[in-house]
Amino acid sequence: MIKIVTVIGARPQFIKAAAISRAIRSKYSDKITEVLVHTGQHYDPNMSSVFFEELDIPAPDYNLEISGGTHGAMTGKMLESIENVLLAEKPDWVLIYGDTNSTLAAALAAAKLHIPIAHVEAGLRSFNMNMPEEVNRIVADRLSRKTFCPTQSAVENLYNEGIRSGVHLVGDVMYDVSLYYRDIARHKSNALERLGLEDGHYVLATCHRAENTDSVRRLTSVVQGLADLASQIPVVLPLHPRTRKKIEDLNLITDLSNITVVEPLPFLDMIRLEQSARVIVTDSGGVQKEAFFYEVPCVTMRDETEWTETVELGLNVLVGADRNLIAKSLSRKRSDGKLPQPYGNGNASEAILEEMLRAP
């Protein structure tokens, strides 16, 4: 029996952890004990507790309730608290996901205690060091004993950085999740009816990346582009609390008057809206992939993406924060249903756990 301490803190990590936690409980309960640590980075109920309920993730064994503040302050507090958990639990592995401050803090805490680290979604690169996520993922990969890559390009990124040992191409756990919840969301969510939307006749938009929200020029252009788009087709915008505050501070909230602005959505509602959207407009890495999984055209409001396959295969386009290009999102066409699947075959969770059961 091995003990894994899993550290998560943000919405995308809850989704990824759901797949592996489910596999542990259903197939590996006699071999693996999981201790779940929630840092509290996303604390709003719509971005935290509701995900645990809908995704059937066990209640966290530890909730550190750390959120807000600067990147350094948040990471420092997490580092101290996670270290205390690891000293108490003495795990065989620390399992981390993605590229958040929670990821970085857990990697640093484990490395300093000489506990082996396994990094899920390793090897992704935007090659933009101004992104805090890029710094976090590079450090996490460098400190990890096992790096679990979702794509071949992620493997190649690690090799190019000299990381050759412990690199495993396993596929994407988010693809596992999308397959599992695709039909469940269609049956259980009434989001379309509740919001008065018709299948295929609306745009779903999200915006939360610091590169957009922390720039007056970019955020203004994004808001105006979405408003222009909403003059052509209904636009639904689940608004991240941080983004809402930035928009209000810039007096841009009236520009959203023709957009259906809602609170961050529960997971099943979000999946339901993604599947039936005419186009998805986002700056989220996770939403880009979900759009690809459901073969919905995606317009990404960034200058680069770590999910290069979605662009190379033609279902995603990068438009930066260009108002005119955002407004032209409806020109994007749906897939013909013949897309290759670069993100595995839906069993990434089992591949990861099988590897972790081997000697570190």
User: Do residues 121 and 268 both lie within one domain?
Assistant: no
User: Do residues 123 and 28 both lie within one domain?
Assistant: yes
User: Do residues 89 and 163 both lie within one domain?
Assistant: yes
The pLDDT, as a whole number, for residue 68 is: 78
Judge whether 182 lies within some domain. Answer: no
Strands (E), the chain: 2-8, 32-38, 62-63, 93-97, 117-120, 146-149, 167-169, 203-205, 235-238, 260-262, 279-282, 298-300, 316-318
The phi and psi torsions of 299 (rounded to 5 degrees) equal -115, 115
Q: Mean of the per-residue pLDDT values for the chain?
A: 93
The pLDDT, as a whole number, for residue 135 is: 96
User: Do residues 209 and 159 both lie within one domain?
Assistant: no
User: Do residues 327 and 348 both lie within one domain?
Assistant: no
The pLDDT, as a whole number, for residue 186 is: 94
CA–CA gap between residue 104 and residue 188 (Å, rounded): 35
User: Do residues 135 and 31 both lie within one domain?
Assistant: yes
Residue 235 domain boundaries? 187-331
Q: Render the burial of 198-221: b for 16+ CB within 10 Å, e for the rest.
A: eeeebbbbbbbbebbbeeeebbbb
The pLDDT, as a whole number, for residue 43 is: 58
The pLDDT, as a whole number, for residue 48 is: 52
| pLDDT 10s digits, 298-307 | 999 999 999 9
Number of independent structural domains in the chain: 2
Judge whether 179 lies within some domain. Answer: no
The pLDDT, as a whole number, for residue 338 is: 77
The pLDDT, as a whole number, for residue 14 is: 87
Residues of the chain with pLDDT under 50: 47
Q: What CATH number does residue 349 fall under?
A: 3.40.50.2000
Q: What is the pTM of this model?
A: 0.86
The pLDDT, as a whole number, for residue 44 is: 57
User: Do residues 137 and 195 both lie within one domain?
Assistant: no
User: Do residues 220 and 127 both lie within one domain?
Assistant: no
Judge whether 71 lies within some domain. Answer: yes
User: Do residues 266 and 231 both lie within one domain?
Assistant: yes
The pLDDT, as a whole number, for residue 47 is: 47
- Which active-site residues does the annotation give? 208
